[in-house]
Amino acid sequence: MSKLFSTLAVKKIILRNRIVMSPMCQYSSSDGFANDWHLVHYGSRATGGAGLVIVEATAVSPEGRITPGDLGIWSDEYITGLERIAGFIHSKGAVAGIQLAHAGRKGSCAVPWKGGKQLGLDKGGWQTIAPSEIPYFPDDRIPRPLDTDDIGKLISAFRAAAKRARMAGFRVIEIHSAHGYLLHEFLSPLSNRRTDEYGGGFQNRIRFLTRVVEAVRSEWPAENPLFVRISATDWTEGGWSLEDSIQLASVLKGLDVDLIDCSSGGNIFDAVLPLEPGYQVPFSAEIRKTGILTGTVGLITQAGQAESILQEGKADVVLIGRELLRNPYFPFHAARSLGAEHEWPVQYLRAKKINKKI
């Protein structure tokens, strides 16, 4: 029996299979609003059979955007557009999730197809913020270090974003604490040089994240899952490590986090990652030993590869990114290759069986 196409119950939410669409920025919003691109993009992956579709990094404040094209959730004005997306995803049998995020020092950038460089303040950019006065790229603007009042306001912003996500009908929230964005910046001693309660030792560096988790959980229904995406290592000596991630996972489990989405890197501009299929799977496998559910991501493109990860107990779900961009119907093909039964939309049933006769 295929593990990839088995159901998974997380709290009271049941995923129809273990294929999760990884949150991937589309950089296609205007002033933070979702539009038809987002509806078609996410809706097609739900139609294509994913068990959980996680909407891209959605900024909890205007300066929390990576680019001016990012989705926003810092105002009630955004609820209607997001509600339309969540509703369509659910109508196709998938579960709708959303990733709440703040870009920190990696914000104020042009969209990738316009170079992706940090925008000048006179070119539509904005002052970035961070735990310390350390830019991501050496030639970026110096970010403004947050004071404790700023941090308190951002914790409140995450709380308000969780409320809006609930109002929009999402059933899973993922907090983005990976890839060198704000919450990850606080975790790593390479980007956090503070000497107050949010810097220094491990417990202080995780404090911002844990308070965000508590704030989000206070607005999120008890029966709905809460995920946290982390970079399990900075891939740089002296940075955030797998051992830190394992310790953090135990803390987050105690705060009613249901799943750790295990990625890596993104905080140190010149870190070297060993990019090969499954290179991040060991992180998911080790963190899972703490007793928390885990997801793995990164260069997973084949059904058999995903199936083996689950069968070997190295993760509970597999997050598919670029392969779902290339092929929204990856789950259909994966089910066929694994000999698994998978429900198709009634509109597509004529294509379910391949007729070899011409």
Residues carrying an active site annotation:
181
Query: How many Å is the maximal CA-CA distance in the chain?
Result: 73
The SS3 call for residue 55 is strand
Tokens for 172? 């899973």
Identity of the residue numbered 261: D
d(CA 229, CA 57): 11
Q: CA 132, CA 185: separation in Å to the nearest integer?
A: 9
Kind and range of the H or E run holding 21: strand 19-21
| Nearest CA-CA partner of 204 in 186, 177, 229 | 186
Sign of CA dihedral 247, 195, 104, 147: positive
Closest by CA to 86, choosing from 46, 48, 50, is 46
| Three-class SS state of 54 | strand
Q: How many whole angstroms separate alpha carbon 146 and alpha carbon 144?
A: 6
What residue type is 302 in one-letter code? Q
CA–CA distance, 229 with 235 (Å, rounded to integer): 16
Residues 357 and 354: their CA atoms lie apart, in Å, by 9
- Dist. CA 255–CA 251, nearest whole Å: 7
